[in-house]
Amino acid sequence: MSENLVQAENTIADNTSSPEKECVLKTINLTKTYAYKNVVDHVNITINKGDIYGFIGKNGAGKTTVMKMISGFLKPNSGNIELFGSENLLKGCKKIGTIIENPVFYPYMNARQNIECQCILKGVKEKSVVDELLELVGLKNAGRKKAKNFSLGMKQRLAIAIALVGDPEFLILDEPMNGLDPEGIKEIRDLILKLNNEVGVTVFISSHILGELSKMATKYGVINEGKLVAEFNADDLSKKVKPCIKLVVDNSEKAVEVIKGKFGEIDIKSDDNTVYIYENIDNFLELNSLLSEAEITVSSFTKEQGDYENYFLSLMKGEA
């Protein structure tokens, strides 16, 4: 991994002198058809070096199919794929590591043996690589425990270690946090951030856990029914998904009327028994007293960083 660390430092130095970033992946009208239906429909994605690209969509939206075409496991019906500025996918795929659908490893081998086997397959002869990868993914103390007896989080970390054999510059991860408990999700998130920040690996990651993606992604693509409906960076998202005060009340219409009567025409929305206030109202006690005097019962009163899930759902529905 030391070569990538040097490359990462050089990239940071280069980026300070030029705003241009190397394009790692570009798809141009990428299309895949099954039974006369476009399951991936003219998709244009751009991922630059250093990005953590969060790929969002419902089950069946086309996320995995896109990843399989990029990785060379499926052939597109039409469109082009450029990896590292070239349409030579055979050459480009040598620089990528993938985990698509399910972690793949030898279940009756331990973590070390699995990584050693992948080193043999990839022609990696440097023995220190195995120890470096075990340390990197937090499996150095897994010992002789067979991979089939690992927790799901350990299996995902082992799969990432296997994908990192050969020092790939680009990592493609299909739902790596699916089915994990909160601790396992944090472990995978921290590992992805470490790979990106310290090793310089560019990451293309799909996930249904939108709140987790928002903690690490630098860029997003939203796909719905095979079409890419939006692509934007993290700064754009933070402007569109504002922090808010969330109130659960027994009469949302009356609550909105009372709040506007006190604070004027502020940015406020209601949905069923929930009121969302997008203005900076710091005096919670005053707000609570105001509603209480109006005989409005408040059963929940929280300050939220932003409703990413509703925003992404509205994008997929064409409402945002």
For residue range 30-88, list pLDDT tens digits in order: 999 999 999 999 999 999 999 999 999 888 899 999 999 999 999 999 999 999 999 99
Q: Are 99 and 173 in contact (CB under 8 A)?
A: yes
3-class SS at 46? Answer: strand
3 state SS of 290? helix
Phi, psi for residue 5 in degrees, rounded to 5:
-60, -45
Identify the pLDDT of residue 319: 63
Instruction: Let me know: does 56 contact 213? Beta carbons within 8 Å.
Output: yes
- In which residue ranges of the chain is pLDDT below 50? 2-18
E-assigned strands of 94-216?
A: 96-99, 170-174, 202-206
**Structure tokens of 260?**
């506007």
Helix, strand or coil for residue 32? strand
At 145 the pLDDT is 95
Arch. (CATH architecture) of 2-239: 3-Layer(aba) Sandwich (3.40)
Q: How far apart are CA 125 and CA 180, in angstroms?
A: 33
Structural domain boundaries in the chain: 2-239, 244-304
Domain 244-304: which CATH class?
A: alpha beta
pLDDT of residue 19: 54
Amino acid letter at 168?
A: P
DSSP string, 238-287: HHHS--EEEEEES-HHHHHHHHHHHH-S-SEEEETTEEEE-S----HHHH
Residue 308, H or E segment: helix 308-316
End-to-end CA distance of the chain: 42
